[in-house]
């Protein structure tokens, strides 16, 4: 049988990056094909080429045996290629059915939403998916939104469906549901490309596996003929398991204490949070994205008001204090979104280095800034934290992602904090930078700092944390000590179940 | 470690406004030609009027101070991320307050030692009055999220009507002459500063001082740093414990204050009483001056001189009947558009440079 | 839900108006009727501009150049009408074409070159003020005869056969047959004997509301202003929709400017006097719907018509203070209603296709 899709010798060159370097991918009709690889391995680039979002620098694509040019997403849809992006391409302010028909070829000038809604509900029923077609997308849960995305693609006649890391935002239970749907689609003869970097999931659902590493494709293997170790080696290229040298776990006095903290809000509001973090420990906060982690960080750092409960830092009641008063307690915050919060990308490296402390001596004298000290300070941090920049006058936005994170890290850690909030500190960083950031955090802990590490990557939390708290829908489901680590149990807690 | 910007970058920064002005002037000339006027005659009138004699030059330079002040009114707010189109209204409020001081303060027993005390009072009153007018838009923004452009434009019209009312037939400051106007100022800035017989006054020195203040405030002072952080990235400002709202309010007060000073310097230098519509568009000129000067103090100073020439040349053309002085507004708009659009060209230049570098890196 | 609320408000307004017509004393009744007529006359250009701007804003572009587009449309309608011997229909087409060109410049700058929408909007206004005033002084001396649009009663009177039934002839020209209704006849005639463009304008606005919420194109416009990247992956050309929306808002703001000139039958420098900005405020106040914008415009129009009302009642208030009212009301509406309506999520954010 002719494969449904063949991508041959695909090359994609971006300014400064060779994202795909002679990639080959062959997908059989009616199969579930895994596309694996680390962050930055070139998976997304390849799929964006397939979906017509990028045009390849060279290479050819065969669909059902015929060479095709995919000029745009619309073109891809017309050829029968559908895609569910990791960040959903749904418009929150519109209803489900409006999202489904948006841009659909063959729409009448005056929309016939009623007809479409009926057909859509019928399609959903076939896959056991019940969704109100007139609900606003913003009112749906993440899992429901994903189902809308899948149905939308099928509704438009997708034969080949690309699912880009669909499980990243789901609880284990929702993942099971998704797999059921995927299997049913396969039985009906649809083909699925499943992008993931999670080994167990790939073995659970896929027939064939292609691994990308550093922009190059490895020869495909069948799931039956391989094992986890082999795949991991193909992905990473060397046997490397995250391991960090840590000093003895020797917690001191309590630094952060939260008592029955609630916040207002609809989705991720905090719901009776009780938490303690001590000197010399890293507390890992695990959980699926969007379960109140951001609200917790904002409550601690004073960026949102607590509706009830108390927050103590080093024994001082800081409930309702301003962000600055909290920072003054030697709290450092490495924010999740460094572009939005952590730095001012249109200011120089030098000016970014004083973002938190500019008003204090010796950064300023009276009403004026102390230019000489500010320069010395920036030079020192840049050297100590190995920030690669042509000059301290360079605009921070022009640095690479890893160097921007080092800039933020350097600024925050050079304040010798007693308490560090690190939110997804290695998101989007390469392996070298990741290791460096991890070393720094552990060094802070060994120095006697208290660290709150928020991450959705379980591996990261398991490696670094002394204790793990799991959040689900604004609640802390439980806190585990190192000796009680148990992945299944953590997984259950992430899904909202305890014991 | 310390390295300044590369020469290429500096060159682009300096070349951009020069090219923008050049192209804008050419577009202006094309416009004049299209309207069937003799470009040569128009240019002759223009330069004769703006720079034809020492006195003419002095008259032209007398416009530098109000232009500098309105440019600062725009630039200060923009540094804090707010687009203040209200310099025109702030100009009126500042002018009215200063004018009233100049008319009535000498009668209140305030010593008129060469007018200095009264003038100082007028400056303070003008600054505060303009500042409060700016503050209204700031307050509407931080309390209700009302778009500053729209509120400041509305406030411009309100200010203009307020002025007309105050000196109109039913207004409290009408002089009873049969024309809508106030009484004459008893004290004003002395003309003939530096150039005898010209309209120049000491306000040009105040303008230069304001530019120095602007530079020191934003680049050497804590508060100015704070304000710039807020302007560039208010989320990061909140994260850093900087109060976004109070900075926005202060920025609008300061911006309004400088807009007010523009009114003070124009009214107490070039005019002898408060009249309706006394601004002649200074508030909008300031936007172009600030943008052409790339918000840099030196740039603003030079642009203010350039626009003073444009403005006086334009007026001269208007007086001769060659073409409406409004042609200057069109040229200003071309300047703004070209300067703003040049950002795109610069970005493209950087992007292409990166691609080139990537390609050579690959070739090696 | 929302539609019901609108209907109820509409019904209440109609009932109140009828009640006034039936029970108020004659002189008060006529004053109120002419207030309403003035309000409609003033509000309609504003509402048309705002309805066009709804499309623009919904597609994610904040068009602060509306004032300039309106002003350009006003001047060229004036010139066009004169060139076509006073024909307002052809004149207004010239006006709309001129504002379309300005809108094209604006669209190119903010969509293709991704320039700051606020600053470019302001520049467009300065440009339009400069151009129109300069050109005006050159053509000022031309012989200008301007005929406004005809009144609905004049048109109805000319319909063969039906003219006599639909209208009555009076000393000052035809009146609507409504005038024959006892008690409220003349009251209704004052309200309804409007310029034909008031009727056409209301129909256009209702039509635009339908297009925005019920058609494929309208859905695309609404989607593009919320999440352009998603639209792109769905095969929608974001640039095309945004260009189209900006150009359309240019056409309608030009139409509005033209109506302004045809209403007062002359052009003066800066004749729009902030009305373009008030239209932008009406978009927000009207919750980004064409019909809402009409409602908002009636409020702003009422603020201006209040002057006539006060004069009619015989109160003495300085005209300069009265002139401030529309601007003050705009600020109050803006402050009171922002934050209570959903602003398109991608508003003012340029879209960069990867």
d(C-alpha B94, C-alpha B265), whole Å: 9
Is residue C247 domain-shared with residue C187, that is, in the same domain? no
pLDDT at residue number C7: 83
Q: Does B221 touch chain A (CB under 8 A)?
A: yes
Percent of chain B with pLDDT over 90: 71
- Inspect the interface and report whether the beta carbons of B157 and C123 lie closer than 8 Å: no
| Count: domains in chain C | 2
Q: What is the mean pLDDT of chain B?
A: 90
Nearest-10 Cα torsion for B254, B257, B259, B265: -140
pLDDT at residue number C251: 98
Give ∠ CA C274-C279-C285 in degrees, rounded to 5. Answer: 125
Cα A153 to Cα A68, A74, A134, A185: the distances in Å are 20, 12, 18, 12
How distant is the Cα of C321 from the closest Cα of chain B, in angstroms? 7
Cα A275 to Cα A8, A259, A334, A469, A477: the distances in Å are 53, 7, 19, 9, 11
- Inspect the interface and report whether the beta carbons of B140 and C131 lie closer than 8 Å: no
- Inspect the interface and report whether the beta carbons of B171 and C318 lie closer than 8 Å: yes
d(C-alpha C59, C-alpha C246), whole Å: 8
Omega before A272 within 30 of 0, i.e. cis: no
Q: Which residues of C touch A (CB under 8 A)?
A: 214-217, 219-220, 222-223, 226-227, 229-236, 342, 344-345, 354
Number of CB pairs < 8 Å for A and B?
92
Beta bridge partners of A95: A136
Residues of C in contact with B37 (CB under 8 A): 138
pLDDT at residue number A239: 41
| Closest residue, chain C, to A98 (C-alpha) | C219
Q: Judge whether C303 lies within some domain.
A: yes
Rg of the Cα trace of chain C?
21
- Inspect the interface and report whether the beta carbons of A303 and B5 lie closer than 8 Å: no
Is residue C97 domain-shared with residue C54, that is, in the same domain? yes
3-state secondary structure of A289: coil
Is residue C226 domain-shared with residue C114, that is, in the same domain? yes
Burial annotation B315-346 (CB, 10 A radius, 16+ → b, else e): bbbbeeebbbbbbbbbbbbbbbbbbbbbeeee
Q: Which residue shows structure tokens 């014991």?
A: A499
**What phi, psi does B274 have (nearest 5°)?**
-80, 125
Give yes or no for a contact between C221 and C59, defined as CB atoms under 8 angstroms apart. yes
- Inspect the interface and report whether the beta carbons of C226 and A94 lie closer than 8 Å: yes
3-state secondary structure of B30: helix
| Closest residue, chain A, to B227 (C-alpha) | A355
d(C-alpha C224, C-alpha C218), whole Å: 10
pLDDT at residue number B357: 63
Residues C56-114 have pLDDT tens digits of 999 999 999 999 999 999 999 999 998 888 889 999 999 999 999 999 999 999 999 99
d(C-alpha B210, C-alpha B244), whole Å: 24
Is residue C45 domain-shared with residue C176, that is, in the same domain? no
Give yes or no for a contact between B309 and B316, defined as CB atoms under 8 angstroms apart. no
pLDDT at residue number C2: 56
Q: Among A477-491, B164-178, B179-193, whose mean pLDDT is lowest?
A: A477-491
pLDDT at residue number A339: 82
Is residue C215 domain-shared with residue C127, that is, in the same domain? yes
| Closest residue, chain A, to B360 (C-alpha) | A16
d(C-alpha A244, C-alpha C249), whole Å: 60
d(C-alpha C225, C-alpha C117), whole Å: 14
- Inspect the interface and report whether the beta carbons of C219 and A98 lie closer than 8 Å: yes
Fold of B19-353: ABC transporter involved in vitamin B12 uptake, BtuC (1.10.3470)
Q: Does A393 touch chain B (CB under 8 A)?
A: yes
d(C-alpha B120, C-alpha C154), whole Å: 65
| Closest residue, chain B, to A343 (C-alpha) | B236
d(C-alpha A251, C-alpha A259), whole Å: 20
Is residue C188 domain-shared with residue C319, that is, in the same domain? no
Q: Among B80-94, B98-112, C226-240, C280-294, whose mean pLDDT is lowest?
A: B98-112
Q: Judge whether C229 lies within some domain.
A: yes
Taking alpha carbons only, the member of A171, A176, A228, A166 closest to residue A491 is A171
Is residue C307 domain-shared with residue C161, that is, in the same domain? no
Whether B168 has a pLDDT exceeding 90, the answer reads yes
B-proximal residues of C, 308-337, CB under 8 Å: 318, 320-321, 323-324, 327-328, 330-331, 334-336
Neighbours of A134 (CB within 10 A): 11
Give yes or no for a contact between A300 and A179, defined as CB atoms under 8 angstroms apart. no
Taking alpha carbons only, the member of B195, B207, B189, B242 closest to residue B80 is B242
How distant is the Cα of A290 from the closest Cα of chain B, in angstroms? 19
Taking alpha carbons only, the member of A3, A56, A11 closest to residue A31 is A3
Residues B283-319 have pLDDT tens digits of 999 999 999 999 999 999 999 999 999 999 999 988 8
Q: In CATH, what number is assigned to the domain containing residue C126?
A: 1.10.3470
Q: What domains sit in chain A, N to C, each tagged with a CATH number?
A: 5-236 (3.40.50.300), 254-494 (3.40.50.300)
E strands, chain B, where? none
Listed in sequence order, the residues at least 6 apart from B344 whose beta carbon sits closer than 8 Å to its beta carbon are C113, C114, C115
How distant is the Cα of A48 from the closest Cα of chain C, in angstroms? 10
Strands A81-84 and A160-164: parallel
**What phi, psi does C34 have (nearest 5°)?**
-75, -30
For chain B, how many helices (H) and strands (E)?
A: 14, 0
3-state secondary structure of B64: helix
| Closest residue, chain B, to A334 (C-alpha) | B239
Strands A208-213 and A221-222: antiparallel
- Inspect the interface and report whether the beta carbons of B220 and A368 lie closer than 8 Å: yes
Is residue C174 domain-shared with residue C58, that is, in the same domain? no
Most C-contacting residue of B333, B338, B342, B349 (CB-CB within 10 A), to test interface: B333
Closest CB to A391 among B3, B222, B239: B3
- Kindly tell me the sign of the dihedral angle through the C-alpha atoms of C337, C338, C342, C344: positive
How distant is the Cα of C16 from the closest Cα of chain B, in angstroms? 32
Q: Does C230 touch chain B (CB under 8 A)?
A: no
Convert chain C into a string of H (helix), E (strand) and C (coil): CHHHHHHHHHHHHHHHHHHHHHHCCHHHHHHHHHHHHHHHHHHHHHHHHHHHHHHHHHCCCCCCCHHHHHHHHHHHHHHHHHHCCCCHHHHHHHHHHHHHHHHHHHHHHHHHCCCCHHHHHHHHHHHHHHHHHHHHHHHCCCCCCCCCCCEHHHHHHHCCCCHHHHEEEECCEEEEHHHHCCCCHHHHHHHHCCEHHHHHHHHHHHHHHHHHHHEHHHHHHHHHCCCHHHHHHCCCCHHHHHHHHHHHHHHHHHHHHHHHHHHHCCCCCCCCCCHHHHHHHHHHHCCCCHHHHHHHHHHHHHHHHHHHHHHHHCCCCCHHHHHHHHHHHHHHHHHHHCCCCCCCCCCCCCCCCC
Give ∠ CA C38-C41-C43 in degrees, rounded to 5. Answer: 100
**What phi, psi does B113 have (nearest 5°)?**
-75, 95
Q: Judge whether C294 lies within some domain.
A: yes
> Domain segments of chain B: what residues?
19-353
pLDDT at residue number C215: 96
| Closest residue, chain C, to A78 (C-alpha) | C235
Residues of A in contact with C220 (CB under 8 A): 102-103
- Inspect the interface and report whether the beta carbons of A85 and C233 lie closer than 8 Å: yes
Q: Does B170 touch chain C (CB under 8 A)?
A: yes
Residues of A in contact with B358 (CB under 8 A): 13-17
Q: Does B276 touch chain C (CB under 8 A)?
A: no
Q: Does B240 touch chain A (CB under 8 A)?
A: yes
Q: Judge whether C224 lies within some domain.
A: yes
Q: Does A467 touch chain B (CB under 8 A)?
A: no
Dig out the tokens for B317 from the structure.
Answer: 């053309």
Q: Does A136 touch chain C (CB under 8 A)?
A: no
Residues B236-262 have pLDDT tens digits of 999 999 999 999 999 999 999 999 999
Closest CB to A109 among C215, C222, C227: C215
User: What is the helix (H) or strand (E) element at residue A147, kind and residue range?
Assistant: helix A142-155
d(C-alpha B128, C-alpha B120), whole Å: 12
Taking alpha carbons only, the member of A219, A179, A177, A169 closest to residue A200 is A179
Neighbours of A262 (CB within 10 A): 16
Residues C274-304 have pLDDT tens digits of 999 999 999 998 999 999 999 999 999 999 9
| Closest residue, chain B, to A398 (C-alpha) | B350
pLDDT at residue number A240: 45
Residue A304 is given by DSSP the state S
Residues of B in contact with A375 (CB under 8 A): 2
d(C-alpha A166, C-alpha A185), whole Å: 15
Neighbours of C156 (CB within 10 A): 21
Taking alpha carbons only, the member of C148, C255, C146 closest to residue C195 is C148
Give yes or no for a contact between A162 and A81, defined as CB atoms under 8 angstroms apart. yes
Residues of A in contact with B355 (CB under 8 A): 15-16
How distant is the Cα of A21 from the closest Cα of chain B, in angstroms? 12
- Inspect the interface and report whether the beta carbons of C230 and A54 lie closer than 8 Å: no
d(C-alpha C13, C-alpha A131), whole Å: 39
Residues of A in contact with B232 (CB under 8 A): 344-347
What is the ipTM, given to two decimal places? 0.91
Q: Among A427-436, C34-43, C45-54, whose mean pLDDT is lowest?
A: A427-436
Residues C217-274 have pLDDT tens digits of 999 999 999 999 999 888 899 999 999 999 999 999 999 999 999 998 889 999 999 9
pLDDT under 50: residue ranges of chain A? 239-241
Q: Which residue shows structure tokens 């509704």?
A: A155
Give yes or no for a contact between A90 and A148, defined as CB atoms under 8 angstroms apart. yes
Cα C43 to Cα A71, B227, C39, C138: the distances in Å are 47, 40, 6, 31
Strands A5-14 and A17-27: antiparallel
Give yes or no for a contact between C130 and B329, defined as CB atoms under 8 angstroms apart. yes
Listed in sequence order, the residues at least 6 apart from A271 whose beta carbon sits closer than 8 Å to its beta carbon are A262, A292, A473, A474, A475
- Inspect the interface and report whether the beta carbons of A74 and C230 lie closer than 8 Å: no
Is residue C157 domain-shared with residue C132, that is, in the same domain? no
Burial (CB count <10 Å: 0-12, 13-18, 19+), residue A189: exposed
Range of the domain at C187: 152-193
Chains in contact with B, where contact means 3 or more Cβ–Cβ distances below 8 Å, are: A, C
């Amino acid at each position: 049988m002719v494969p449904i899709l063949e991508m041959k010798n695909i090359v994609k060159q971006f300014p400064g990056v060779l994202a795909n370097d002679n990639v080959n991918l062959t997908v059989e009709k009616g199969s579930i094909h895994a596309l694996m690889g680390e962050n930055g391995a070139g998976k997304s680039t390849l799929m964006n080429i397939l979906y017509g979002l990028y045009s390849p620098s060279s290479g050819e694509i065969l669909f059902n045996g015929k060479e095709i040019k995919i000029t745009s997403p619309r073109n891809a849809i017309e050829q029968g290629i559908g895609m569910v992006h990791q960040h959903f391409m749904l418009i929150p302010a519109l209803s489900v059915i409006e999202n489904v028909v948006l841009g659909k070829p063959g729409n009448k000038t005056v929309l016939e939403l009623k007809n479409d809604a009926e057909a859509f509900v019928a399609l959903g029923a076939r896959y056991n998916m019940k969704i109100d077609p007139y609900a606003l997308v913003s009112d749906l849960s993440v899992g429901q939104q994903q189902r809308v995305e899948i149905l939308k693609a099928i509704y438009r006649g997708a034969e080949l469906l690309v699912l880009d890391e669909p499980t990243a935002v789901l609880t284990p239970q929702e993942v099971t549901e998704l797999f059921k749907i995927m299997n049913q689609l396969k039985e009906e003869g649809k083909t699925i490309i499943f992008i993931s970097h999670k080994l167990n999931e790939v073995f659970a659902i896929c027939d064939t596996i292609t691994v990308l590493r550093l922009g190059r494709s490895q020869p495909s293997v069948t799931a039956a003929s391989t094992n986890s170790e082999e795949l991991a080696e193909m992905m990473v290229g060397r046997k490397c398991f995250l391991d960090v040298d840590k000093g003895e776990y020797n917690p001191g006095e309590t630094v952060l204490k939260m008592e029955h903290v609630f916040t207002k809000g609809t989705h991720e509001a905090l719901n009776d949070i009780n938490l303690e973090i001590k000197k010399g420990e890293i507390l890992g906060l695990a959980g699926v994205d969007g379960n109140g982690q951001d609200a917790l960080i904002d409550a601690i750092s004073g960026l949102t008001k607590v509706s009830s409960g108390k927050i103590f830092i080093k024994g001082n009641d800081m409930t309702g204090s301003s962000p600055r008063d909290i920072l003054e307690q030697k709290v450092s915050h490495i924010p999740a979104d460094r572009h939005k919060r952590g730095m001012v990308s249109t200011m120089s490296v030098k000016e970014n280095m004083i973002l938190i402390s500019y008003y204090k001596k010796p950064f300023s004298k009276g009403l004026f800034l102390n230019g000489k000290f500010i320069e010395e300070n920036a030079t020192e941090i840049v050297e100590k934290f190995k920030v690669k920049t042509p000059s301290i006058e360079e605009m921070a936005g022009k640095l690479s992602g890893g160097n921007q994170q080092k800039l933020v890290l350097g600024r925050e850690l050079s304040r010798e904090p007693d308490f560090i909030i690190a939110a997804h500190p290695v998101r989007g960083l390469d392996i070298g930078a990741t290791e460096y950031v991890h070393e720094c955090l552990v060094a802070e802990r060994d120095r006697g700092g208290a660290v709150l590490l928020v991450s959705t990557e379980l591996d990261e939390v398991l490696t670094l944390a002394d204790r793990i708290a799991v959040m689900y829908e604004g609640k802390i489901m439980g806190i585990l000590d190192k000796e009680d680590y148990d992945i299944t149990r953590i997984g259950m807690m992430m899904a909202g179940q305890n014991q | 470690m310390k390295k300044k910007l590369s020469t290429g970058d500096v060159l682009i920064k300096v070349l951009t406004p020069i090219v923008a002005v050049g192209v804008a002037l050419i577009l202006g000339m094309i416009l004049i030609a299209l309207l069937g006027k003799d470009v040569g005659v128009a240019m002759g009138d223009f330069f004769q009027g703006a720079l034809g004699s020492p006195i003419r030059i002095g008259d032209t330079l007398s416009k530098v101070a109000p232009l500098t002040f309105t440019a600062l009114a725009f630039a200060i707010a923009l540094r804090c991320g707010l687009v203040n189109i209200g310099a025109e209204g702030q100009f009126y409020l500042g002018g009215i307050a200063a004018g009233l001081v100049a008319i009535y303060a000498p009668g209140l027993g305030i010593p008129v030692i060469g007018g200095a005390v009264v003038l100082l009072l007028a400056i303070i009153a003008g600054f505060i009055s303009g500042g409060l007018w700016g503050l209204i838009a700031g307050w509407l923004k931080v309390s209700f999220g009302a778009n500053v452009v729209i509120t400041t434009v509305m406030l411009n019209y309100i200010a203009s009507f307020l002025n007309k009312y105050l000196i109109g037939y039913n207004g409290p400051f009408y002089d009873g002459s049969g024309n809508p106007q106030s009484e004459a100022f008893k004290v004003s800035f002395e003309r003939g500063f530096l150039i005898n017989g010209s309209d120049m006054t000491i306000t040009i020195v105040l303008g230069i001082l304001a530019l120095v203040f602007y530079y020191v405030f934003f680049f050497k002072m804590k508060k100015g740093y704070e304000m710039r952080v807020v302007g560039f990235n208010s989320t990061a400002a909140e994260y850093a414990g900087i109060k976004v709202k109070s900075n926005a309010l202060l920025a609008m007060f300061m911006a309004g204050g400088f807009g007010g000073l523009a009114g003070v310097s124009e009214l107490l230098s070039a005019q002898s009483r408060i009249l309706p519509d006394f601004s002649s568009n200074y508030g909008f000129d300031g936007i172009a001056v600030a943008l052409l000067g790339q918000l840099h103090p030196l740039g603003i100073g030079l642009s203010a001189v350039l626009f003073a020439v444009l403005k006086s040349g334009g007026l001269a053309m208007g007086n001769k009947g060659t073409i409406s002085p409004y042609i200057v507004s069109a040229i200003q708009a071309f300047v703004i558009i070209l300067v703003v659009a040049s950002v795109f060209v610069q970005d493209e230049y950087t992007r292409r440079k990166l691609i080139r570098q990537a390609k050579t890196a690959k070739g090696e | 839900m929302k539609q019901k609320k609108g209907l109820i408000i509409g019904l209440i307004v109609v009932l109140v108006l009828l009640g006034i017509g039936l029970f108020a004393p004659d002189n008060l009744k006529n004053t109120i009727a002419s207030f309403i007529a003035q309000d409609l006359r003033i509000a309609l250009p504003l509402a048309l501009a705002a309805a066009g701007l709804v499309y623009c804003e919904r597609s994610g572009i904040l068009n602060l150049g509306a004032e300039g587009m309106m002003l350009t449309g006003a001047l060229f309608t004036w010139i066009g009408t004169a060139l076509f011997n006073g024909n307002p229909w052809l004149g207004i087409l010239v006006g709309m074409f001129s504002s379309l060109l300005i809108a094209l410049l604006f669209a190119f700058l903010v969509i293709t070159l991704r320039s700051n929408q606020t600053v470019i909007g302001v520049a467009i206004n300065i440009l339009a003020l400069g151009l129109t005033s300069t050109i005006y002084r050159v053509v000022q001396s031309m012989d200008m005869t301007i005929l406004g649009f005809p009144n609905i009663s004049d048109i109805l009177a000319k319909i063969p056969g039906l003219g006599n039934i639909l209208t009555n002839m009076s000393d000052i020209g035809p009146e609507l047959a409504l005038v024959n209704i006892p008690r409220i006849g003349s009251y209704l005639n004052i309200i309804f004997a409007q310029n034909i463009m008031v009727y056409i304008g209301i129909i256009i606005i209702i039509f635009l509301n339908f297009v925005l919420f019920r058609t494929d194109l309208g859905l695309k416009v609404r989607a593009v202003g919320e999440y352009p990247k998603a639209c792109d992956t769905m095969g929608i050309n974001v640039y095309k929709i945004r260009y189209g929306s900006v150009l359309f808002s240019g056409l309608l703001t030009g139409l509005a400017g033209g109506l302004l000139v045809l209403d007062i039958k002359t052009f003066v420098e800066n004749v729009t006097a902030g009305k373009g900005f008030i239209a932008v405020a009406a978009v927000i106040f009207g919750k980004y719907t064409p019909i809402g914008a009409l409602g908002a415009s009636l409020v702003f129009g009422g603020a201006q018509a209040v002057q006539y009302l006060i004069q009619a009642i015989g109160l003495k208030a300085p005209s300069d203070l009265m002139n401030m009212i529309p601007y003050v009301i705009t600020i109050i509406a803006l402050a009171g209603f922002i934050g209570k309506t959903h602003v398109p999520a991608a508003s003012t954010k340029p879209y960069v296709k990867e």
